[in-house]
Structure formats: C-alpha cells, structure tokens
Chains A and B, each alone.
Chain A
C-alpha cells in the first residue's frame, strides 16, 4: 500500500484543463443515453469510469473523439470544441488515442505497419522515422520481436498491447480506454494492465472504462460511477471504495466486490 501511495504521489496533476464537458446530452433515437454530463479532466489525471452495463460509460468516452455524436451541450478537448466541423474532428482524433475492447487491429497489416500507418498518413512523417518511433513504442509495451507478424498470429494480450502502442505512435495528449481487458483471458489481463500502469507513470492523461477495480485503486486519481446515463458519484479511489455516498454505488460495489 505504501508503495502504491508513493507511486501516486509522483504523478502530478497540473491545473491545465484537457477535457471539459458541459451539460452533455445524447440520445439514441428516443433513448436518452447520456444525461446532463458535466466533467472536467486536467492534464495528467487518470480517471476510471465504472458502472453497470448500459449505463452509458462507453458512449461517454466515445463522444470524446466523436465516434458518437452528442446532441446537446459542449465538449471541449484541449481547447477545441467538438462540432460538426470535420477539420476539428480529425485534429482532435489525432491528439486523442483510443484503445478498444476488441483491439481492432488491422488484420491485413503487420504489427509494425499497424503502428506506422497513422503517423505516415496523418502526420506525414517519413516512413523511416515512423518505423523507428513505432519500434520504440513496441519496446515499451514489450513486444518488439513481434513487429513483423500479423495481428492474427498474436495472443489477445499481445494484440491489445500492440493496440496501445499503435495509439501512442500518434503521440496523443489523451488516451481513452474502452474496457481494454474485458475480451481477454484472465492470464493476459495482467500484462495489459501493467502496460497501462507504466503509461500512467509517464504522466499521460487517461480515461479508462474498466471493471478492474484493482487497477482503479492502484492508478486512478478519480473514480467515476455512472448509471442510467448519469454520473452518480465521483471521488478519489480510497474514498470511493471505502466510503461510497449513494446507495446505488454501494449496491454496485457490493456486487462486483463479492466476486
């Protein structure tokens, strides 16, 4: 425990606001999936969003790089507001990395090509430079030896680490994780979580939708609980787990911590 606290203490959160959501609402047809979301994320924060399925947590982070559109309110990413303007959307997407539940690697490209693609085509980086950078990130996620393989030849955990490296190659300011370990076999969860922990130690601003409460306790500086499309409660992890305020949170915690 003391070691964890020491780790966290090193992770400075600056005052700079990276993400700001004001009164965000979203509907899927008639279904009101996000209600009155207000959220401010500062540079270097590590936020874990949890909640029962269908509570809107994935939808919320998918709104942050406009994989989903919000219908009311404002989302401001690093000073740029998300609107219909395609230029703004592309600019924001290239600054915001995203890791998916099902990895979504490109199966027709090698691991290295997966990583180099966006730097070459979006950042217009020379191929050599992009490859060198990609190899560096693959080393950081500890799979440089797989660079020439195709995603289909890797295990789930390795694929997810490639996906993380692929996002990092764009040098993002913010990383979004949408249930990154939910599709993994139990023995592979740890290798992905370790990668995420070491990423957090570099001071990356991270928002993770996850059910890994151990990860939340170790890494997060704030835990957000959502249900029915609303943010019910948010707090520092110690407070959140030991002293939940709302009954809904208590019920949720009792259910997941039983297992």
Chain B
C-alpha cells in the first residue's frame, strides 16, 4: 500500500489576493458595481473638496467678534467665543474648575479600564458606576465641603448632556434587566406589573414624559413639595429608557438555549445565581449591539430637555445663534453640535464592537 502524501499548497492567483484582488473583489466585481464605484467617486469629487474648503481652508478661526469673519468660509469664531457656554452653560465662571475636575477624574478613571491586563477592573468599574457619581454630584452642585451652591438651572451645555446621559445609562440598564427578568417571571403579579410598566413607557413619546415631569407633576404634588426640575427630567428619562432596555435584554434572555437554564438548575444554583452567573453574562453579551443602540438613542434624546427649559448642548447653541450679535451663524453652531454628538456616539459604537470581540469565547454554540 502506498503512503498518503498530501499535495503541496500552491500560491493563490494574483487576481485573488493583495491590492489588485481587493480592488477587483470590492470595487469592480461587475459592470454594475463598476458604474456605482465611478458614480460614487464623482460625487465625492463634487462635494468633498468644497466642504473641506468651507470648514477648514477658507474658514476663520481667530478673533472675538463677527468682524473677524470675512473670508466667506466657516466662522468658527462663533464657536470659540461661545465655547464656555456650549460646554457648561451658565455655570459660574469661577466654579467651572469643578466641572473640569470631575471630567478629568472621569477620564483618569476610565483609562485603566481600557488597559489590557489591569487586574482590578471589576472594582474600578463598580467605583465608576457607584462611587464616582456621588463625588461628581458634590462637585457639581456644591453646598457642602466649602463649595458654593450652584443651582441645577445654571447647569448646561455639553456638561448637562453628559450628566443626563450618564445617569440615564447607569440607571436604565440595571432597571431594564430587572424588568426583563420580571417580564419572564412565572410569578403572575411580578410579571403583569413589569408588562404594564414596559408597555406604558414604550407607548408614550419622550417629549410627553418630559413635559409631564416638568409641568404636570408639580400640579399633583402637595403645596411646597417641589423637587428639582433636572431630577424630574432624569427620572423621566430613566423610566422611559429602561422600558426599551428591558425589551432589548429580554430578547437576549430568549436567545439563551433552554439547556443552559437546566444545567444551572441541575447543579443546584439558585435563581439569582443562575441568572447572575450563567444566563445574564451570555444574554447581555448577545445584545451588546442592542444595548449600545439604546444608549446612543438615549444620548441623542437628551436634547429634548430643551422643551422643558433645560439648556443642554443643542439648546445652548440654538439660543446662542439667536443672539443679535451672531445672527446668521447657525450652521457653524449646528455643525459643531453634530461633530460633538458624532464623536460620542461613534466612540460608544466602537467601544461596543471592541467589547464584542473581547468577550467572544465560543467558536460554536451548544
């Protein structure tokens, strides 16, 4: 009997690999694709250079009034003059360092979370979620530790947007998880409470929720009992988004094979142990895209607080562009807002993708 000798591997054809292969496969695989590639290139040629010209090359960058804007390009002077208001709203100038300190602290805390091999991520993460908000709150609102009190109606700009989003994200996820578990519970009362809660909050528009929280709620509260408008808006946003989050999480729970629940039970794990150790880690991993989707939606939805008189980044820009000294520069303002929102949303999106890759452990599901 002859011994089996495998044939040697031959190199792949040049048209399949490398730059040429890539071009052939991605840009010119068929006449239709070729036509679309050429059309796309033409449109890029038509619109990209003028855009860059407007935004960068013939833009005005320096100065302190509209008189500096003469070249016909974008007038970024508008943004730089109003920059402080766009960032922190009406927060007193002398106290802005408190916001900056919290921001620096937050970034400093986040950096180790991205370092591979950092040992105490769980503790640090818990601190960012539960400890940091208290420090930030004391810094922001003051009134203790010798810090001057800054009322929340002075909070504004990107700072307010981030506060609303952070609170919304940190509170809506756990609440959503509990609601999702409740909705799948076999206990009829728990289940119906969760179903009613979720369906109610999903059924009303966020604008209505915010409006109710700021205008209607005080009418129902007893005289003299009036809590902060920002807090009311936050609660509204959290309850609203947690209903969406619950459905995202529930879709993940339903995707986990029944065998996982059974194996956990058969080992004697209690309900909360099997949820916390077996089911949720897998379910949440599956729905990272959906969770981040909700986070991004939440982040952008915070701009709706404009209608109840809170001045987040977008409303700050809007009111600045109505200033008589700067009429006609809305576009620069909105482009700036778009850029900021895009940077944050894109960051969240990339982070979620890297998280998905990092948590990928199964090559085949069982």
Q: In the complex the two chains form, is B366's CB within 8 Å of A151's CB? A: yes
Residues in B neighbouring A94, C-beta threshold 8 A: 267-268
With A106-B278, A108-B285 as given contacts, are A121 and B263 in contact (CB-CB < 8 Å)? Answer: no
Residue of B whose beta carbon sits closest to that of A166: B267
User: Is A100 part of the binding interface, using a Cβ–Cβ cutoff of 8 Å?
Assistant: yes
Residue of A whose beta carbon sits closest to that of B361: A150
Chain A, range 45-97, C-beta contacts under 8 Å to B: 65, 67, 90-91, 93-94, 96-97
How many A-B contacts are there with CB distance less than 8 Å? 82
Neighbour of B366 across the interface among A67, A122, A159, A170, CB < 8 A: A159
Q: Mark B254-288, 1 if CB is under 8 A from A, else 0.
A: 00010110111111111001000110011001000
User: Is B2 part of the binding interface, using a Cβ–Cβ cutoff of 8 Å?
Assistant: no
Residues in B neighbouring A170, C-beta threshold 8 A: 267-268
User: Is B364 part of the binding interface, using a Cβ–Cβ cutoff of 8 Å?
Assistant: yes
Q: In the complex the two chains form, is A118's CB within 8 Å of B366's CB? A: no
User: Is A40 part of the binding interface, using a Cβ–Cβ cutoff of 8 Å?
Assistant: no
User: Is B365 part of the binding interface, using a Cβ–Cβ cutoff of 8 Å?
Assistant: yes
With A67-B262, A106-B260 as given contacts, are A93 and B267 in contact (CB-CB < 8 Å)? Answer: yes
Q: Mark A187-220, 1 if CB is under 8 A from B, else 0.
A: 0000000000000000000000000000000000
A102 to B269, CA, bound (A): 19
Residues in B neighbouring A166, C-beta threshold 8 A: 267
Q: In the complex the two chains form, is B362's CB within 8 Å of A108's CB? A: yes
Q: Mark A115-146, 1 if CB is under 8 A from B, else 0.
A: 00110011000000000000000000000000
Neighbour of B262 across the interface among A96, A104, A117, A153, CB < 8 A: A104
User: Is B3 part of the binding interface, using a Cβ–Cβ cutoff of 8 Å?
Assistant: no
Neighbour of B362 across the interface among A91, A103, A151, CB < 8 A: A151
Q: Chain A at the B interface: mostly helix, strand, loop or mixed?
A: mixed
A105 to B264, CA, bound (A): 9
Residues in A neighbouring B259, C-beta threshold 8 A: 100, 102, 104
* B interface, size bucket: 20 to 34
Shortest distance in angstroms between B285's beta carbon and chain A's nearest beta carbon?
7
A65 to B266, CA, bound (A): 7
Q: In the complex the two chains form, is A152's CB within 8 Å of B268's CB? A: no
Q: In the complex the two chains form, is A107's CB within 8 Å of B262's CB? A: no
Residues in A neighbouring B262, C-beta threshold 8 A: 67, 100, 104
User: Is B363 part of the binding interface, using a Cβ–Cβ cutoff of 8 Å?
Assistant: yes
Q: In the complex the two chains form, is B266's CB within 8 Å of A107's CB? A: no
Neighbour of B263 across the interface among A106, A108, A150, A153, CB < 8 A: A106
Q: In the complex the two chains form, is A67's CB within 8 Å of B265's CB? A: yes
Shortest distance in angstroms between A63's beta carbon and chain B's nearest beta carbon?
13
User: Is A98 part of the binding interface, using a Cβ–Cβ cutoff of 8 Å?
Assistant: yes
Q: In the complex the two chains form, is A117's CB within 8 Å of B270's CB? A: no
A117 to B260, CA, bound (A): 14
Shortest distance in angstroms between A17's beta carbon and chain B's nearest beta carbon?
22
With A121-B277, A152-B365 as given contacts, are A104 and B260 in contact (CB-CB < 8 Å)? Answer: yes
Q: In the complex the two chains form, is B266's CB within 8 Å of A102's CB? A: no
Shortest distance in angstroms between B252's beta carbon and chain A's nearest beta carbon?
13
The number of residues on chain A lying at the interface, defined by a beta carbon within 8 Å of a beta carbon of chain B, is 29
Residue of A whose beta carbon sits closest to that of B365: A107
A100 to B260, CA, bound (A): 10
Residues in B neighbouring A97, C-beta threshold 8 A: 266
Residues in A neighbouring B277, C-beta threshold 8 A: 117, 121
A93 to B285, CA, bound (A): 28
Q: In the complex the two chains form, is B362's CB within 8 Å of A107's CB? A: yes
Neighbour of A117 across the interface among B267, B282, B365, CB < 8 A: B267
Residue of B whose beta carbon sits closest to that of A96: B266
Shortest distance in angstroms between A174's beta carbon and chain B's nearest beta carbon?
12
Q: In the complex the two chains form, is B366's CB within 8 Å of A102's CB? A: yes
Chain A, range 144-167, C-beta contacts under 8 Å to B: 150-153, 159, 166-167
Q: In the complex the two chains form, is A153's CB within 8 Å of B269's CB? A: no
Residues in A neighbouring B282, C-beta threshold 8 A: 106-108
Q: In the complex the two chains form, is B366's CB within 8 Å of A104's CB? A: yes
Residues in B neighbouring A106, C-beta threshold 8 A: 260, 263-264, 278, 282
A94 to B248, CA, bound (A): 33
With A104-B262, A106-B260 as given contacts, are A90 and B270 in contact (CB-CB < 8 Å)? Answer: yes
Residue of B whose beta carbon sits closest to that of A117: B277
With A106-B260, A107-B282, A121-B273 as given contacts, are A152 and B363 in contact (CB-CB < 8 Å)? Answer: yes
Q: Can you identify 25 A-B contacts, CB atoms within 8 angstroms?
A: A65-B266, A67-B262, A67-B265, A67-B266, A93-B265, A98-B263, A100-B262, A104-B260, A105-B263, A105-B366, A106-B263, A108-B281, A117-B269, A117-B277, A117-B278, A122-B273, A150-B361, A152-B361, A152-B362, A152-B363, A153-B363, A166-B267, A167-B266, A167-B267, A170-B268
Sort A-B residue pairs by CB-CB distance and give the 6 closest, nearest first: A94-B268, A104-B263, A152-B362, A104-B259, A118-B267, A98-B266
Beyond the given A100-B266, A152-B362, could you list 18 further A-B residue pairs with CB under 8 A, ordered by the A residue number?
Answer: A67-B266, A90-B268, A93-B268, A94-B268, A102-B366, A104-B257, A104-B259, A107-B361, A108-B281, A108-B282, A108-B285, A108-B359, A118-B268, A150-B361, A150-B362, A151-B362, A152-B361, A167-B266
